[in-house]
Amino acid sequence: MNKAADLAEEMRDDGTVIRLSGSLAVACLHDLPSRLDAVQGPVSAIDLSGVEHIDTIGAWTVHRTAKRLNSPITGGRDDTMRLIEAVGALDEPVAIRPDHVPAVTRIVSQIGEAVSTAGSTMLGLLGFFGGTLVAAWSVIRHPSRFRVNAVVQRFEVVGVSALGIIGLMSFLIGIVIAQQGSVQLRQFGMEMLTINLVGRLTFRELGVLMTAIMVAGRSGSAFAAQLGTMKLTEEVDAMRTIGVSPMEALVLPRTLAVVIMMPLLGFYASIMAVIGGGFLCAIALDIPPITFVQRLREVVPITDLWVGLIKAPVFGLIIAISGCFQGMQVKGNAEEVGLRTTAAVVQAIFLVIVLDAIFAVFFTWLGWN
């Protein structure tokens, strides 16, 4: 059984030596801290040669006394001295409030951090795209590794299951475009140009753009959450262990499904938007459906359809790569899944809009106005 802690004072010419003995564990200290507080200097040394055992509280008591009396600690075993040194290393003042940073410095720092994060994310996205191309080339060289069932399942998730919400959204957007356009054109007696507005805007821009935004929010977020959860549960690591490439098994089927389905969904959305615009024209402007269709064929060039169909697979590629990339970056905890899912949606929508602007300039340069 450990002896109770005790101290003895030995008078010397150079001062008093405090000799501690027994166990300096919290259960055996008793009144030792108060007795040490009562000691007045000068104290030439604190001798621990008689100490049998010491814990963190005992080490802190010895360190505090030695610091107050400005006395060296001697005679302790190696483990005792290491514990006292470790406790002493924590004896630093802790700020209750962080240091004040000027607003300008803080804003500039946040902007710099955001730019650095955006740059590293874009580099990572490009690297991930390269990895996807390598996986695609590997599957082309070894067709037996192509997972048809996985791609078909993603067709259903990305395409078939999204028909309802995309169709309803596009139908309502067509109604809104026709209603707002007719209100403005009525001032000039040009309500018939509402058909031009609905046809060209939906086939060329809004049909595929709104579809891309819906797919990014619906499928891109799902990709990030699914792959992020698999990362947390170490399923991705298990696939690598058994020799299965996650890029071929998880990323490539999702990317192919979105790239293939986006032109179909974009065309479907454009048709639904045109139907919505025609419905509004028939109700509010008394334009018969036959007249609407005939006028639509006259004013909408086939290049508008090609523009939408060319942009759609590129948008699909961006959405799939962004979602899978953010999902594969998950690590640490479940909160990271939510953060990466949000980042995937924001990143995909941002890149889609930027590419849409680039496509608009490019097709104008080609003369496809």
Q: Helix, strand, or coil here: 332?
A: coil
Per-residue pLDDT, 55 = 85
The one-letter amino acid at 288: P
Domain membership of residue 243 (yes or no) is yes
Look at residue 16 and tell me if it is in a domain: yes
3-state secondary structure of 11: strand
> Among residues 64, 89, 114, which one ends one of the domains?
89
356 class by beta-carbon count within 10 Å (0-12 exposed, 13-18 middle, 19+ buried): middle
Angle at alpha carbon of residue 150, lines to 263 and 126, rounded to 5°: 65
Cα separation, 244 vs 251, in Å, equals 12
Nearest to residue 200, comparing CAs of 284, 297, 311?
A: 297
Domain span at residue 57? 6-89
22 touches 33 (CB < 8 A): no
Are 212 and 321 found together in one domain? yes
Same domain (yes/no): 79, 220? no
| pLDDT score recorded for residue 276 | 94
φ, ψ at 287 (rounded to 5°): -100, 115
In a domain, 97, yes or no: no
Residues 300 and 356 in one domain: yes
* Distance set, CA 312 to CA 178, 216, 301, 319, 323 (Å): 24, 12, 18, 11, 17
**Are 361 and 233 found together in one domain?**
yes
Are 175 and 280 in contact, with CB atoms under 8 Å apart? yes
When divided into structural domains, the chain yields a total of 2
Determine the number of helices (DSSP H) and then strands (DSSP E) in the chain.
Answer: 15, 4
Phi-psi region at 210: left, alpha or beta (left = phi > 0; alpha = psi -120 to 50): alpha
Q: Are residues 185 and 75 in the same domain?
A: no
Q: Where are the beta strands (DSSP E) in 170-270?
A: none
- How many CB atoms are closer than 10 A to CB 36? 21
pLDDT number for residue 50: 81
On whether residue 234 sits in a domain, the answer given is yes
Q: Judge whether 118 lies within some domain.
A: no
Does the residue 268 lie in any domain? yes
CB-count burial class (<10 Å; 0-12, 13-18, 19+) for 287? buried
Q: Are 58 and 24 in contact (CB under 8 A)?
A: yes
The residues near 61 (Cβ < 8 Å, ≥ 6 apart) are 24, 29, 32, 33, 36
Q: What 8-state DSSP symbol labels residue 203? A: I
Query: d(Cα 263, Cα 254) in Å, to the nearest integer?
Result: 15
Q: 70, 80, 86: which is closest to 49 by C-alpha?
A: 80
pLDDT given for residue 229 in this prediction: 92
CB 237 within 8 A of CB 294: no
**Which among 45, 69, 89 is the end of a domain?**
89
Is 289 part of any domain? yes
CATH number at residue 15: 3.30.750.24
Residues 40 and 167 in one domain: no
Same domain? 229 vs 156: yes
Write out pLDDT tens, residues 47-66: 888 888 888 888 888 888 88
Model confidence pLDDT, tens digit, residues 112-165: 998 998 899 899 999 999 999 999 999 999 998 899 999 999 999 898 999 999
- pLDDT at site 359: 92
pLDDT at residue number 92: 65
Residues 66 and 131 in one domain: no
Q: Are residues 131 and 70 in the same domain?
A: no
Are 321 and 269 contained in the same domain?
A: yes
Shared domain for 69 and 143, answered yes or no, is no
Phi/psi at 17 (5° precision): -105, 125
Domain final residue pick, 89, 105, 135 = 89
Q: Can you give the pLDDT at residue 2?
A: 66
Is 110 inside a domain boundary?
A: no
Residues 83 and 136 in one domain: no
- pLDDT the model gives residue 217: 92
Spans of the chain below 70 pLDDT: 1-2, 13-14, 41, 91-96
